[in-house]
Amino acid sequence: MSRNAEVIRSAFREYYFKQKSIHAPAAIDQREFGYSQFGMHGMVRHLSFKSIGELIATLVKEVPSDVYCSNALYRFPTLPMQEKQWLGADLIFDIDGKDLGLPCVPLHSYAVCAACGHASPPDDGEYSCSACGGKKADHVSIPCSKCIDGSKKEAKRLIDFMTEDLGVERQNIDAYFSGNNGFHFHVRDDSYRPLDSQARSDLVGYIAGVGLLAESVGVRKAQGGDDVFVKFPKSGLALGWRKKVADKLKIDSASIIKLGNIAKEKGGYAGFKAELDKMTREMGARIDPQVTTDVHRVFRMPGTINSKSGLAKIKCDELDSFDPFTDACLLGSAKVKVKMKTQVKFKLKGESYNLSKESAELPAYAAVYLICKGLADSA
């Protein structure tokens, strides 16, 4: 095992030995668990635990790099997938900061050469490692407060959809910081468990604002050509996407002439439909569709450490005040010497770091953060 892996593994073991943030998921004995190991490819899967104590004992013994738990319930969770006998799955969502296209990201991103591990700030041109000439790199980001605020904004939008449009009680939505650069959501509502992948895909489409018909807000295509006429649905514009679009366009059920004029200004039916698609995508929540639609997924387990950062996937009851760089930074503070690969600025546990020298002595949580990101090596 490499020296880097040894340092990270030691910090993770201490956390799992002392941890207070891991709680048993509902019906723990019907869940499939899995974990990844340091220095090894693939995942150890099809595991089952009867209690949280049994699970934590395994974490302390094995010290995995990442830990996962199925959103699905199975009659036989340790058997091969086709023999598990699926009983339903919790509804889950993932918002990843890297998918939001935030303008600040290039300012705090780095390229880590896939061949030699050399790190450097990426430029706009074609990548070429200055150390070995390698053409492939892993691009890593040190998220800033604007990144987290962007993810929080998206998270609140998702929660609004779930509570206002879908009728999920707010107390049944558990929000978690992902441990790296985003948020996860677990819906504790048994009525969603039987949904198959297609039903969940439809749900994702609704929340993301994909595929809304122009007819659903009253714009209809006249026979022959691209002309339009307006006929509002009998159920009105008071609910769901109809209300969102009506509020955006500043119309109501009496705005037949106004909506008709808007559609004509956009170029007729096709032009209005294109504008509607753009509008709803901007107003929808940007979630990872594969996470929600996969009813057999093993999802990062709450309370465990994310090996991409050394931060914990931790529950956040108050999104506005939640600070992942403090609240999710739970590793120990024993001193660790590191050799820096590039100049790095970041903030953890209220302390700002601006590391430009070749070597530094840091608290374990900060050293592990940089090593996990590929921006430093254990000295």
At residue 309, φ and ψ (nearest 5 deg) are: -145, -25
Query: Is residue 323 pLDDT above 90, yes or no?
Result: yes
Query: Is residue 263 pLDDT above 90, yes or no?
Result: yes
List, in sequence order, every residue forming a beta bridge with 314; answer none if it has no partner: 177
Query: Is residue 375 pLDDT above 80, yes or no?
Result: yes
How much is the pLDDT for 341? Answer: 94
Query: Is residue 262 pLDDT above 90, yes or no?
Result: yes
- The DSSP 8-state label assigned to residue 222 in this structure reads P
How much is the pLDDT for 118? Answer: 92
How much is the pLDDT for 93? Answer: 98
Q: What is the mean pLDDT of the chain?
A: 94
Output the CA angle 58-61-64, nearest 5 degrees: 75
What average pLDDT does this structure show over 338-343?
A: 94
Query: Is residue 225 pLDDT above 80, yes or no?
Result: no
What average pLDDT does this structure show over 244-261?
A: 95
DSSP assignment string, 236-299: -SSSHHHHHHHHHHT--TT-HHHHHHHHHHTTSHHHHHHHHHHHHHHHS----HHHHH-TT-EE
What separation in angstroms does the CA of 63 have from each of 14, 60, 305, 319?
Answer: 9, 5, 10, 30
Distance, CA of 159 to CA of 123 (rounded, Å):
36
Query: Is residue 238 pLDDT above 80, yes or no?
Result: yes
Query: What is the SS3 assignment for 165?
Result: helix
- Describe the strand order of the beta sheet including 119-120 as a list of residue ranges: 119-120, 109-113, 137-141
Buried b (16+ CB within 10 A) or exposed e, 146-172: ebbebbbebbebbbebbeeeeebeeee
What average pLDDT does this structure show over 46-70?
A: 96
How many Cα atoms are found within 13 Å in the side-chain-facing hemisphere of 70? 29
Of the candidate CATH numbers 2.60.120.260, 3.30.565.10, 3.40.50.620, 3.90.920.10, the domain formed by 11-94+172-206+289-321 belongs to 3.90.920.10
Give residue 223's pLDDT band: very low, low, confident or very high (50, 70, 90): confident
The pTM assigned to this predicted structure is 0.91
How much is the pLDDT for 345? Answer: 93
Distance, CA of 261 to CA of 265 (rounded, Å):
6
Query: Is residue 226 pLDDT above 80, yes or no?
Result: no
Q: Which of 171-180, 221-230, 252-261, 283-292 has the lowest mean pLDDT?
A: 221-230
Buried b (16+ CB within 10 A) or exposed e, 251-266: beeebeeebbebbeeb
Give residue 324's pLDDT band: very low, low, confident or very high (50, 70, 90): very high
Query: Is residue 160 pLDDT above 90, yes or no?
Result: yes
Place of tokens 């959809």: 161
Cα pseudo-dihedral 266, 267, 270, 274, rounded to 10? -30
Identify residue 175 by its one-letter amino acid code: A
Is 288 a residue of the active site?
yes
How much is the pLDDT for 20? Answer: 82
Distance, CA of 133 to CA of 114 (rounded, Å):
11
Distance, CA of 187 to CA of 90 (rounded, Å):
6
What average pLDDT does this structure show over 267-275?
A: 94
Q: Residue 37 class from Cβ within 10 Å (0-12 exposed, 13-18 middle, 19+ buried)?
A: middle
Is 96 a residue of the active site?
yes
How much is the pLDDT for 271? Answer: 94
- E-assigned strands of the chain? 33-36, 44-47, 66-70, 72-74, 86-89, 91-96, 109-113, 119-120, 137-141, 173-177, 182-187, 219-221, 228-230, 298-300, 314-315, 335-340, 344-348, 351-355, 359-363, 376-378
Domain residues of the chain, as ranges?
A: 11-94+172-206+289-321, 214-283
How many Cα atoms are found within 13 Å in the side-chain-facing hemisphere of 276? 26
Catalytic residue of the set 288, 294, 323, 327: 288
Q: Which of 119-123, 298-302, 360-364 has the lowest mean pLDDT?
A: 119-123
Query: Is residue 133 pLDDT above 80, yes or no?
Result: yes
How much is the pLDDT for 86? Answer: 98
Q: What is the pLDDT of residues 76-101, one digit of tens each?
A: 999 999 999 999 999 999 999 989 98
Distance, CA of 240 to CA of 234 (rounded, Å):
14
CA-closest candidate to residue 112, choices 122, 126, 97 = 122
Query: Is residue 222 pLDDT above 90, yes or no?
Result: no
Give residue 126's pLDDT band: very low, low, confident or very high (50, 70, 90): confident
CA-closest candidate to residue 187, choices 200, 202, 197, 201 = 200
CA-closest candidate to residue 160, choices 76, 71, 284 = 284
How much is the pLDDT for 171? Answer: 95
Q: Which of 267-271, 325-329, 361-365 has the lowest mean pLDDT?
A: 267-271
What average pLDDT does this structure show over 28-33?
A: 98
How much is the pLDDT for 356? Answer: 86
How much is the pLDDT for 85? Answer: 98
Is 227 a residue of the active site?
no
What average pLDDT does this structure show over 93-117?
A: 92
